[in-house]
Structure 1
Amino acid sequence: MQCCGNTHISLMPWKPLVSYCCRSLSAPRPRRLVVSAAAAQPTASNSGDGSNGGDDLSEVLNGKVAKGSGTSARGRRLLKIREEKRKREYERLHNYPAWAKVLEGACKNDTELRAVLGDSIGNPELMRKRVEERVRKKGRDFHKSKTGSVLAFKVSFREFVILFLHSYNPVDSYIWFELYGSPSDQDVDLLGSVIQSWYVMGRLGAFNSSNLQLANSAMEYDPLYDPDKGSNVMPSSFHDIGDVEFQDNWGRVWVDLGTSDFFAIDVLLNCLTVLNSEYLGIQQVVFGGRRMGDWEEGMTSPDYGYKCFKI
């Protein structure tokens, strides 16, 4: 073999892939290993046992993996993820806003607040945006207490008794409710449903003190009720009722009690007592009167705080 005018001397004839030029015998030069493409492929034994020795060698030859690094790409990614997680945990423990901790604590006992925050818990910035969005939508309703009032409401009558007994005047047959604040839609539905149920029972003659057979007798193990006596009592029934209206923190309902007696008033006040203590705070209930507070006749625009429950 000729190379640069010199003859090749094969030092290892059984490996034809490696040879040295005769010039290297007189002047030392860096040796270069020549590997054929066939030698870079995995052998049949390597591919059969499931090892990836051939693939690793190819990656080394192509420069994809740094020799001598001691770590794989997957290992470096896992290390980076663990480091980022550690930094987030450190930030949460040392730099977490105090108000965010308060909100997270309140979520444990407040289902409404937990629904507002949703999956933003742990992300103060997203939590702040969720709360601001809720306040913009609900306004004062977001801060309104839903647990009622610990104080009993005041009850007063303004000519209602005289009109009821003598010269009944439908114009003055209003029942007024003063709340602690402007009612939400839920509050309107709640109080309106109570008044509606009260009217339905009155319409069916439920409030008739002339037929209180069990209430006026000593309760026994097996009390007796006389249905004939109950059917012979003069009927007692409501005649008519209007819608429950609200302007700001005042509500009213017009009602024609018909032949019902004051037993109907007692039943209504009993219902409102529990409603006030458990669900919706009421400052006072007034029977009778043409106008209360800042009520304006004809102001039925929702823009001015008007709300209505249809009966």
Structure 2
Amino acid sequence: MAPVHALDRYYLGITLLVTVGWQMLGFFIAWTLQFDKITDFTGGSNFFVLALLTLLIGNTFYARNIVASILVMIWATRLAGFLLYRVLKMGSDARFDDIRSHFLKFLGFWIGQIVWVWTVSLPVVILNSPAVSDPADGGSNPGFGTSRDIAGIVLWALGWVIETVSDAQKTYYKSTNPPKNKPNTYGLWGWSRHPPYFGEMLCWWGIWILTISPSTNGTLTGGARAAQYGAVVSPLFTMLLLMFASGIPTAEKPQARRFFLMSHNVQGDVDHGAWAEYLAYLESTSILIPLPPSLYRVLPRILKRTVLLDFPMYQFDERTDGMQALEEQRRDA
């Protein structure tokens, strides 16, 4: 059977329509019932839907297409399952407390989720499309098992293991009722302050590397080859999102604020060692790339702030952020 030619030869239109429909269905349910149980699950599961859909309608079951699609579906299943488990256990997601009852603000989150899913799925969507895989449209089966293929799979596997293990370790750590005045340094969290984000970045770089291999065959049209390389926006978007938007920035300062207030609590319940403990943790724990604390601790600060990505924008300033936190605490007291 020939591939289904749906809207365009790269499957960009059909996958956008499916993503919009899937997310708007989730939004309608979440808004109507005013709960968070399916919000993250809808995002994660959407990746599974797009990978499976394009593989089936592409109908060119080459080894590369199958492997890449399965890797995306494995990643999506774990992510969606973990996030669903977490929100069911917590009962709600505090991230949405300020927007859940505001139609346009809540809708804005779901629109952002549409952009995230569709953009990050591009490598596997384009790989499965007729433009790349259908011989009648200039595509071909260039074989499988090149060194680039192996590199992509290894990178994905390393990222998936880091992401999976670190999420499991954090879940276990929280179940032990740990002391509130000490940061989590259990397992991978002692080597990185955000190991799941690092793992996710590796996964999508691995997927992109795996999916661009057919372009080395030389039979693809210039447009198809350019589209495959252009799909680099997927891992780049993942990195930008986690480093400058919904990832590290939403975690670093709030956590620092919590430890700062433990040591400067205007209500009298003060733990003077909490802030010092946290500052020592920052000096010995890499923000993203896992490194042994003994090594990270002795590295020059300039290296940490540049090559190792611990940018000044993540830093909690005691004079500005700290004073603002204390003022807010006084108003809420």
TM-score, structure 1 as length reference: 0.20
Instruction: Tell me which of the two structures has the higher relative contact order, counting C-alpha pairs closer than 8 angstroms and 6 or more residues apart.
Output: 1
> Which is richer in strand?
1
Instruction: Give 1 or 2 for the bigger CA radius of gyration.
Output: 1
> Which is richer in helix?
2
